[in-house]
Amino acid sequence: MPRNPIQVDTLPADAELEEDEDGTGEGDEIMEEVDDQEDGYTSSTPTSTVTWISWFCSLPGHEFFCEVTEDFIEDDFNLTGLNTIVPFWKEAMEMVLDVEPDEDATKIPDVSIVESSAEMLYGLVHQRYILTRAGLQAMIDKYENNTFGTCPRVYCRSMNVVPCGRSDTPGLDTVKLFCPNCNDIYVPPSSRFQGVDGAFFGTTFAHLFFQSYRELAPAPFYKPMSSGSSSASPKSSNGSSVPAFVNPNPHGGQKRAEGSVYVPKIYGFKVSERAKSGPRMKWLRLRPESPEELDMVDWRGRWINGDYDGEGDDDEEDEDRQMEDFGPVFFSVLNYDSHFSDTLVFLGCYR
């Protein structure tokens, strides 16, 4: 049987080995919790009380899966179409639901074939289950326990991420992590997730999740909280140091975004966009300061009033314009970093 406790115990060791081979040794999330649980189950009564599903979800690399309830799997309606995708359908169903196989059933040459079928079956059912109310609830519990990890992008400030597939068809790509703040997807930091199919989470889940729990979704606009900006904003009426955040769009994200964007600097000076190596990708992470600015762009992605003149990132444009007479400029003289007392020394020894 696949859920033999001996086999279970050996698996985490394999995972560690794998990580060491990887050379980077990033054991960011540690498996101990899962192991403890496993011990708790197995020590009380041997094998029989651990269902296939909870065994499967406790395997290293399967931390992102939630446990699909058996009645969801037993309802044929929820499985529509899957029997054409999963080989050894009947045997896989029996394995997932812990049904003793019929003795007179056709013999399967190798139990590992059924195991992989069962994994695919469970994964595809899981993709559907996590879109249901119960599934979303199971996943938010994992989300709030930080099971899925945090965004690697520095300015997302360790925002929690959710698993996400790039395809709903199995066998195409492994699981990725979606960050609701930068709306981008990342490779999981640990190599043990490289064997997990992204289709088992699907393309929809991550976004339905943040539509369902809007209080966890960062809003699409961001105003830095400083320098008297609060007087201009309508949301600061309650007088506390951190005013309550409100997104006027009730269907949008209701969380204050982490809106800082990285600004490359050389010797404390911003790199000008006129340099060949100057910034080209700031737009990818930029947010407007107010929700109204979003409406200045029409559905085709054009500025509605011709040349838009908002505050956004236009300071750079204006500053550059003043310097036009100086011919080719590599750095625009902005934001001199006063910490940098050794600037002249540096320039002296360069080259």
Residues 319-348 that bind other proteins (CB under 8 A): 328, 330, 337, 339-342, 345-346, 348
| Sign of the alpha-carbon dihedral angle for 135, 140, 141, 142 | positive
Among 11, 97, 140, 208, binds other proteins (CB under 8 A): 208
d(CA 5, CA 190): 24
Dihedrals φ, ψ of 315, to 5°?
-55, -35
Rounded least distance, CB 147 to other proteins, Å: 18
Give the H/E segment covering residue 35.
Answer: helix 32-44
> Which tokens sit at 12?
């985490």
What string marks each residue from 212 to 241 as x (binds other proteins by CB under 8 A) or -? --------x---------------------
124, burial (CB in 10 Å: exposed 0-12, middle 13-18, buried 19+)? buried
Site residues (CB under 8 A) for other proteins, limited to 264-303: 264-268, 271, 273-288, 293-294, 296-297, 299, 301-303
Nearer to other proteins, 6 or 304 (CB): 304
Identify the residue whose tokens are 């115990």.
9
Site residues (CB under 8 A) for other proteins, limited to 167-186: 176, 178, 183-186
Nearer to other proteins, 229 or 308 (CB): 308
Nearer to other proteins, 5 or 268 (CB): 268
Dihedrals φ, ψ of 53, to 5°?
-65, -45
d(CA 262, CA 278): 13
Rounded least distance, CB 292 to other proteins, Å: 11
By rule CB under 8 A, what count of residues binds other proteins? Answer: 76
Nearer to other proteins, 46 or 195 (CB): 195
Rounded least distance, CB 237 to other proteins, Å: 24
Nearer to other proteins, 78 or 211 (CB): 211
Contact 330, 275 (CB under 8 A): yes
Is residue 69 involved in binding other proteins (CB under 8 A)?
A: no
Site residues (CB under 8 A) for other proteins, limited to 21-60: 24-26, 28
Site residues (CB under 8 A) for other proteins, limited to 134-173: 152-155, 166
Nearer to other proteins, 142 or 166 (CB): 166
Cα 255 from chain centre: 16
Instruction: Pick the closest to residue 15 from 255, 191, 277, 219 (CA basis).
Output: 191
CB atoms within 10 A of CB 302: 10
> Which tokens sit at 72?
């969801």
